[in-house]
Amino acid sequence: MPDLSFVEAAARSIAPFVATGNLIILESTSPVGTTEKVKGWLKAELAKLGRQVDGLLFAHCPERILPGQMLKELVSNDRICGGLTPEAAEKARDLYATFCTAQIFLTDARTAELAKLTENAYRDVNIAFANELSLICDKLSIDVWELIRLANRHPRVKILQPGPGVGGHCIAVDPWFIVDAAPAEARLLRTAREVNDSKPHHVVAQVRAAAGKDAVVACLGLAFKANVDDLRESPAVEIAAHLADAGLKVLAVEPHVTALPKALQGRAELVTLADALARASVVVLLVDHRAFAGLTLAQLAGKKLIDTRGVVRN
């Protein structure tokens, strides 16, 4: 069940300040129907305060930005303005047109809400296809990276790259909003989430099979994707935690942070790449950071390698 308590608190918090004709915009990725709930929460709070405010307009305008490119993409990306009324959508468009140089599309609020969820669910399903292929290839002793490279030579095939799972605050979360809203219908989306959620456990099983009783395991990367310091919902953190739970000595290498996340504090050691390669008997490459791009088989000589990103090719 989605937790909308923070959205509700934000909606209620503006009750003392709104004025007649104000436009209230929800940008946060939200379950379908949340904009209607924002209207209800705000009106309820206004009634509690004894305030009569007419002509309020409500719209959902989902953000579309890439971490690290926020200022650029706020201006250059197409936007969707979904109003609870056509007037609200038009007012929202007029606002975004003051700084957005791309196209702005008008629709209703529920469609706008589902559009953003659909964008992230689409990515999740495609990643799940690649991750499921990696499981099949492990079963059949086939190099999944070679398989995908060859399959992608077809002019209408573009398979993504597999990994240790899916993380971040969007793709790993948003499809569940659709599943929650239409559980009987969202069968493919549910399965994709289950495939991607299960991938960290597969990686842990691979590491445990490769590791001896007193193995030292180096986990290269903790972020949820390459070249960022964002650890939210990161499968790499989950994998490192499970390995620590299994009693293995875990060395974490994450060049974009200076401290371990709470889930690993006291359970792993944050070290440099050089230190990890010197001490570890098993190396698990979890994030394809640029800092790891130069790894060679010579540096990994005598160690067991689990490469979930296909960075080090034999």
Catalytic pick among 61, 81, 100, 170:
170
Is 81 tagged catalytic?
no
Q: Is 111 helix (H, G, I), strand (E, B) or coil?
A: helix
The candidate with the shortest Cα–Cα distance to 74, out of 33, 27, 32, is 27
Catalytic pick among 39, 81, 100, 116:
116
Nearest-5° Cα angle at 37, 27 to 79: 25
Which helix (H) or strand (E) segment holds residue 236: the answer is helix 235-245
- CA neighbours closer than 13 Å in the CB half-sphere of residue 16: 2
Give the C-alpha separation, 224 to 240, whole Å. 13
Which helix (H) or strand (E) segment holds residue 159: the answer is none
Contact between residue 213 and residue 180 where contact means Cβ atoms under 8 Å apart: no
Residues in the chain: 314
Is 170 tagged catalytic?
yes
Active-site positions read 116, 170
